[in-house]
Amino acid sequence: MTMTEQSPSAVDSGTSATEAFRVARRESTTTDISPQRVGDVVGSVLAGIHDAIRSREVTYDEFQAAKAWLIEVGEGGEWPLFLDVFVEHTVEEVAARAQRGTKGSILGPYYLPGQVRLPSTSKLPMRPDEKGTPLVFAGRVRDVDGNPVVGAELDIWHADDDGYYSGFAPHLPDGILRGVVEADTDGRFEIGTVQPAPYRIPTDGPTGALIEAAGWHPWRPAHLHLVVRAPGFRSITTQLYFSGGDWLDSDVAQATKPELVLAPQSQGDGTLRSEYDFVLEPAG
């Protein structure tokens, strides 16, 4: 892709993601973590680093290069991006040990709360000339016994046909391809949108530089993000992917699961349609 004034830079998305994280954090209730717990966890993290230095015989040169890189990650606002791509999947894996219902996946750095509320059959906000294959995503929200869940909502957000997220790319109008869809009293929903493109970690920031330096690729497969919630039920944060799509078997963020892959059907009119049912467990 050529860089034009339309191309969002890594520092734009990084700065916005860091600010969004700070706002969310302010509004969340955080519990105190005991000194014992901090010592245990941070002690383990440091021991892992010490082991890597010994076994790989890390040099002073490499240590100082790492320090310079860490400074850049902070200055570029890329801690949310870096941590959500390379670490969050393991936090989710541990959380999932105690969870039933639809499989979860990582939240990632591009969630924004407070999006437009929409009725059960809706189109997500989009530009009049929004590029991409039209996609209808429909299904039901049920409880673990198969009964429809009343009062369910699907908070959905995804990248556009170029792989960019509104709110994190200055050329996109605020709020596009985001919305909170209220399922009907049978738990049904039908959401019109466009198929997202795969997401590429910005190559012009420190996370991209590391990926390049390590000889890895910077891609996530195309995905829809969802938080599905209902009164009295545990909220599910997840992502849905598209069968046959690029990078499905090599997600840089290691956040795919076989249960989370959609197989959209061509409707003959150029539209894709996909059905997916969510299962919520009672709040713990």
Using an 8 Å Cβ cutoff, are 128 and 176 in contact? Answer: no
Nearer to Fe ion, 108 or 208 (CB): 108
Position 104 contacts ligand MBD (CB under 6 A) = no
Nearer to Fe ion, 76 or 221 (CB): 221
Stretch binding ligand MBD (CB under 6 A), from 50-58, 101-109, 113-121, 258-266:
101-109
Nearer to ligand MBD, 120 or 256 (CB): 256
Q: At its nearest, how many Å lie between ligand MBD and the CB of residue 63?
A: 27
Position 84 contacts ligand MBD (CB under 6 A) = yes
Q: Kindly state the tokens that stand for 129.
A: 């000339």
Name the DSSP class of 277.
-
Residue (of 251, 230, 241, 264) closest to 155 by Cα position: 230
Position 85 contacts ligand MBD (CB under 6 A) = yes
What is the per-residue binding string for ligand MBD in 176-215, x denoting contact by CB under 6 A? -----------------------x----------------
CA pair distance 16, 77, nearest whole angstrom: 8
Tell me the C-alpha to C-alpha distance, in Å, between residue 233 and each of 99, 236, 281.
12, 9, 6
| Alpha-carbon dihedral sign for residues 108, 278, 264, 135 | negative
CA pair distance 137, 117, nearest whole angstrom: 17
> Which residues of this protein are in contact with Fe ion, per CB under 5 A?
108
Position 106 contacts ligand MBD (CB under 6 A) = yes
Q: Can you give the binding site for ligand MBD, defined by CB under 6 A?
A: 81, 84-85, 106, 108-110, 199, 220, 253, 255
